[in-house]
Amino acid sequence: MRWRWRHRDDRDDRGTATAELAVVLPAVVLLAASGVWAVAAAAAQLRCVDAAGTGARALARGETTAAVSRAVAEVAPAGAAVSISRTGDLAVVEVRMRVRLPGPWPRDGPGLVVGDRAVAALEDVGAP
User: Any bridge partners for residue 98, and if so which?
Assistant: 113
Beta carbons of 95 and 115 less than 8 angstroms apart = yes
Distances (CA, A) of 72 to 37, 42, 46, 48, 105: 24, 18, 13, 9, 29
pLDDT digits (tens, 9 = 90+) for 71-103: 999 999 999 999 999 988 999 999 999 998 877
pLDDT score of 118 more than 60 = yes
The Cα–Cα gap between 115 and 104 comes to 24
pTM (two decimals): 0.75
Residues 6+ apart with CB under 8 A from 2: none
pLDDT digits (tens, 9 = 90+) for 33-47: 889 999 999 999 999
The predicted structure's pLDDT at residue 106 = 76
Q: Where are the alpha helices (DSSP H) in the chain?
A: 16-60, 65-75
Beta carbons of 96 and 48 less than 8 angstroms apart = yes
